[in-house]
Structure 1
Amino acid sequence: MADSPISPPPGEPIGARPDLPVCARHPDRATGLRCVRCDRPACPECLREASVGYQCVDCVNRGRATVRRPRTFVGAEFGGRPVVTPVLIAVNVLVFAVTAAQAGSVAGNQRSPLFGDLLMYTPSVALGGEWWRLLTSGFLHFGPLHLALNMIALYVLGRDLEPVFGRLRFSAVYLVSLLGGSVAVYLFGGLNTVVAGASGAVYGLMGAMLVAVLRLKLNAGPALGVIALNVVLSFTLPGISLLGHIGGLVIGAAVTAGLVYAPAGKRNTWQAAVVAAAVVLLVVMAVVRTGQLV
């Protein structure tokens, strides 16, 4: 029969047992216990229950560091909480608040000087070299209703996609889709068209959702229905940038296809190459368009 793993003989303090080794982490504590993994002496405070016996905290920590965590089909670790989504919403709301304060009007925030400096306006990009407008216009909104609709859609899509894609991949899909929507307007829109809003990026997330559903072989009906409804609204409602929506949708779906169908063996390299290729393609098309306008 083994000795008691915890209690010393009655009336005898632990420190009075010179025949016992001392804890590896607490030299002032004698102990009759050992870690089943490294066989070092360990006091009860330094032991954790394992599948067989007890392991010391050092072995437990080393074991956790070497265990591969489960990942999603895209390559992200399971259990990640949305962080990028609320940050993006906060940035959009902050920019709107600044433009509304500058304009002295919530409904007329587009009169803000900052709004004029950041919106998508083809002559400013082609003739003024203000390339940042292709991205910054995606953080502007015409009035509170425009902002609310886009942020609600971003929240609904982001809370489902970001945990699956991971923060980095989700951010890449969002930003490349945003750029894709602006470039589509730049390539095919009228010269005097003024465009702003996160709709291109949001439509890119819709495309990402559809591709993910198809990859998992789930029912694509709901995703297709949402996309079809929004495309119809883009055609019918006045003041909507159809080109920006379609551009974001196509680019978002294409980039996501590259992410979810990447070979598992070289997934990270393949995915980085897909995102880089999409950005380079959009930049090249924008440069070619600029050469035609100048």
Structure 2
Amino acid sequence: MEDQAVCCYRHPERETGISCTRCDRPICPECMVNASVGFHCPECSGGTHTTGGGGATGGSARRMPGGGQLRALRGGSLAADPRLITKILLAINVLVWITVLSNEQMINDWALVGQWPPADSGLRPDQGVAEGEWYRLVSAMFLHEEPFHIAFNMLSLWWLGAPLEAALGRVRFLALYLLSGLGGSALSYLLADASQASLGASGAIFGLLGATAVLMRRLNYDMRPVVVLLALNLVFTFAWSDIAWQAHIGGLIIGTAVAYGIVHAPRERRDLVQVGTCVAVFLVIVGTVLLRTAQLTG
């Protein structure tokens, strides 16, 4: 028999898979209150709990049926620290940036470049993704040079990543982030000048922005704030000539597609659809890279 949808006890129109760690009542992201472990509902966070019979408070918390393993939205497990992956990604980006400050050669070695110019330019002619350095598609996602660049991206990662990770779970969130970043790198590789270097986590960040829009739409939230935020970011993307707009658009498209597959997967085939979506997106990225490589290498 198909599972019945679980909705927030305070907002019955909002489907959710997140529960209060004290009473197990289902709560939507708007009702989640940070706790030392997981999240509490508004009543439990205030030290009281409304029992099932009426308006009495102060009684022992009543466990709801099925309160064994907590589940995040669309199948992700709700862990003790629902922001762990976001914190790890932040730490990696900051650590790489600090390392770059003392070793600027990392920019040439790790930045996304399709193919360096000929040997007479003074650079090695065998550098670039087209020459087999596929790792640049990933390494560029964690590479920043200017302080304002990493500051803006890391603030965006925290604002967007923390609630997404709490809702989707660690594995799904990590897949969303990495695929979004790869999607941004792939579109840059395909459309940008082959010798133009690019770097930064912006592709992955735009993917998180697209995923936030998908999630808010799925939960019937007011879409106006995220639409305005997305519009402003797109304006900034095309207003400055030194911004790799291809990475932003690629990350946005991939992040939106992955998030849609995750949050709209049917319950009876949830894991299969979610994994299938990620695999299909990854194959599209690989195909894009292979196509561009064939163009550049003749």
The TM tier, using the shorter chain, reads: 0.7 to 0.9
Kept in 1: contact 2:85–2:170 (CA 8 A): yes
TM-score, scaled to structure 1? 0.72
1:119 counterpart residue number: 111
The CA distance in 2 between the partners of 1:154 and 1:82, in whole Å, is: 11
Structure 1 letter corresponding to 2:90:
I
2:77 counterpart residue number: 77
Q: 1:261 aligns with which of 247, 261, 264?
A: 264
| Percent identity of equivalent pairs | 37
Which consecutive segments of 4 or more residues in structure 1 shift more than 6 A? none
2:38 counterpart residue number: none
Kept in 2: contact 1:120–1:195 (CA 8 A): yes
1:25 counterpart residue number: none
Report the 3-state secondary structure (helix = DSSP H, G, I; strand = E; otherwise coil) of the residue aligned with 2:232: helix
Root-mean-square deviation (CA, aligned residues, Å) is 1.8
2:185 counterpart residue number: 182
Indicate yes or no: 2:294 matched with 1:276. no
Q: Count residues in correspondence.
A: 222
1:131 counterpart residue number: 134
Structure 1 letter corresponding to 2:105:
P
The CA distance in 2 between the partners of 1:198 and 1:119, in whole Å, is: 12
Q: 1:252 aligns with which of 250, 255, 261?
A: 255
With 151-160 and 124-133 compared, the bigger mean Cα shift is at 124-133
The CA distance in 2 between the partners of 1:93 and 1:282, in whole Å, is: 26
Q: 2:229 aligns with which of 221, 226, 231?
A: 226
Report the 3-state secondary structure (helix = DSSP H, G, I; strand = E; otherwise coil) of the residue aligned with 1:174: helix
The CA distance in 1 between the partners of 2:197 and 2:70, in whole Å, is: 46
TM-score, scaled to structure 2? 0.71
CA displacement 1:199-245 (0-9 Å, x = unmatched): 00000000000000111121111111111000000111241111110
The CA distance in 1 between the partners of 2:129 and 2:262, in whole Å, is: 32
The CA distance in 1 between the partners of 2:153 and 2:92, in whole Å, is: 13
Structure 2, gaps ≥5 residues long: 1-65, 116-126
CA displacement 1:35-92 (0-9 Å, x = unmatched): xxxxxxxxxxxxxxxxxxxxxxxxxxxxxxx854343432123465210001101000
**Greater relative contact order: 1 or 2 (C-alpha under 8 angstroms, separation 6 or more)?**
2
The CA distance in 2 between the partners of 1:236 and 1:292, in whole Å, is: 29
2:87 counterpart residue number: 86
Structure 1, gaps ≥5 residues long: 1-65, 103-111
